[in-house]
């Protein structure tokens, strides 16, 4: 760990120039005293780092202390930086590793590409946390120690024992054979097999994990994209599906269609609203999807879904009926 930190310290000084001990401590997530010890270690190892005294002082490297990687062209370097999605890495517990890797990529670029690479964040924003309506994407909260144990088992080809809490069930320990990890819209999943059957586990519901020193049963070659698609299809076509009849404003159709399993019929009503016959995974899925649209949609059938939405609306109305 210290060796990685020393490398990161050198890269920070090479890319940003003079930095104070406090700034380095913040970037490296250590104390200022640790930074000073690391500076001493670098000096002893022959790295030309020196201190500048005064109000705007700090630590810096002698000019010219750098190397270049000439194998990357401009677009290749840009693609690497854009592909390094911090949010995707966070889902697998690799956020700090990604930050360190991107630092090394930028540092290794030829001087002619470094200026452009350093300005990527000022010109390209990939998948921001909020959309234009300030709706924030909710990321799964998975302890690093849990996802790290699962990740090690995946890459080592070992079985893993997980304490998993399924919806509306008490946590249970189970031993699974990992296939791969998938992240979708800030949510991480473990694809695995158990007792010869395909299983998909949401990482946020894994309370503890333990890599076992036993080989996992896994095909030699896996098309993870295809495996995910097949499991997604089985999920969408299983369960207690519900067919609904919905009246909706035309401009909100696509928003609702993205959450439904299927649309069986569609027509335009006399008031120019659309009337759709839609299929949802279950009643809870349907209630959630239609609640998002507020008064822009109305459930015509089944009556049980209308009643559930009415109960929600009544509770909200009661909350705001009087003064605060």
Compute the average pLDDT of residues 88-108. Answer: 63
Domain 242-319 has CATH 3.30.110: no
Per domain, the residue ranges of the chain are 2-61, 74-123, 144-227, 242-319
Q: Is the pTM of this model over 0.75?
A: no
Residue 121 predicted with pLDDT over 60: no
Highest mean pLDDT among 110-124, 140-154, 287-301: 287-301
Residue 135 predicted with pLDDT over 80: no
Domain 2-61 has CATH 1.10.3720.10: no
Pairwise pLDDT comparison (299 vs 16), residue with the higher score? 299
Per the prediction, the chain carries an average pLDDT of 81
Compute the average pLDDT of residues 148-165. Answer: 92
Bridge partners, residue 130, by sequence: 136
Q: Are 299 and 269 in contact (CB under 8 A)?
A: no
45 half-sphere exposure, CB direction, 13 A CA radius: 12
Residue 143 predicted with pLDDT over 50: yes
Compute the average pLDDT of residues 139-168. Answer: 86
The Cα 31–Cα 5 span in angstroms is: 12
What's the CATH architecture for 144-227?
Answer: Roll (2.30)
Compute the average pLDDT of residues 298-311. Answer: 95
Q: Scanning the structure block, which residue is given the tokens 């104390």? A: 31
Q: Angle CA(175)–CA(178)–CA(183) in degrees, nearest 5?
A: 120
């Amino acid at each position: 760990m210290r060796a990685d930190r020393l490398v990161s310290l050198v890269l920070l000084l090479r890319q940003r120039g003079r930095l104070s001990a406090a700034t380095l401590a913040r970037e490296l997530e250590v104390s200022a005293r640790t930074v000073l010890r690391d500076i001493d270690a670098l000096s002893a190892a022959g790295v030309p780092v020196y201190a500048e005294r005064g109000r705007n002082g700090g630590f810096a490297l002698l000019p010219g202390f750098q190397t270049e990687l000439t194998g990357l062209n401009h677009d290749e370097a840009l693609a690497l930086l854009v592909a390094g999605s911090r949010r995707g890495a966070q889902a697998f517990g690799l956020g700090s590793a990604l930050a360190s890797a991107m630092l090394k990529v930028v540092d290794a670029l030829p001087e002619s590409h470094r200026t452009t690479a350093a300005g990527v964040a000022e010109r390209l924003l990939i998948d921001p946390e909020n959309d234009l309506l300030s709706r924030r994407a909710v990321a799964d909260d998975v302890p690093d120690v849990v996802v790290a144990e699962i990740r090690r088992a995946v890459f080592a080809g070992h079985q893993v024992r997980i304490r998993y809490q399924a919806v509306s069930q008490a946590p249970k320990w189970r031993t699974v054979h990992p296939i791969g990890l998938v992240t979708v819209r800030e949510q991480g999943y473990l694809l695995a097999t158990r007792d010869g059957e395909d299983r998909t586990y949401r990482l946020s519901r894994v309370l503890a994990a333990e890599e076992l020193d036993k080989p996992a049963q896994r095909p030699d070659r896996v098309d993870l994209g295809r495996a995910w698609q097949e499991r997604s299809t089985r999920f969408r076509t299983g369960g207690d599906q519900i067919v609904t009849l919905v009246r909706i404003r035309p401009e909100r159709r696509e928003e609702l269609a993205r959450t439904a399993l299927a649309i069986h019929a569609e027509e335009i009503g006399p008031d120019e609203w659309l009337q759709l016959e839609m299929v949802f995974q279950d009643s809870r899925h349907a209630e959630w999807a239609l609640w998002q649209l507020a008064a822009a949609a109305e459930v015509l059938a089944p009556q049980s879904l209308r009643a559930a939405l009415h109960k929600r609306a009544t509770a909200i109305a009661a909350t705001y009926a009087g003064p605060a």
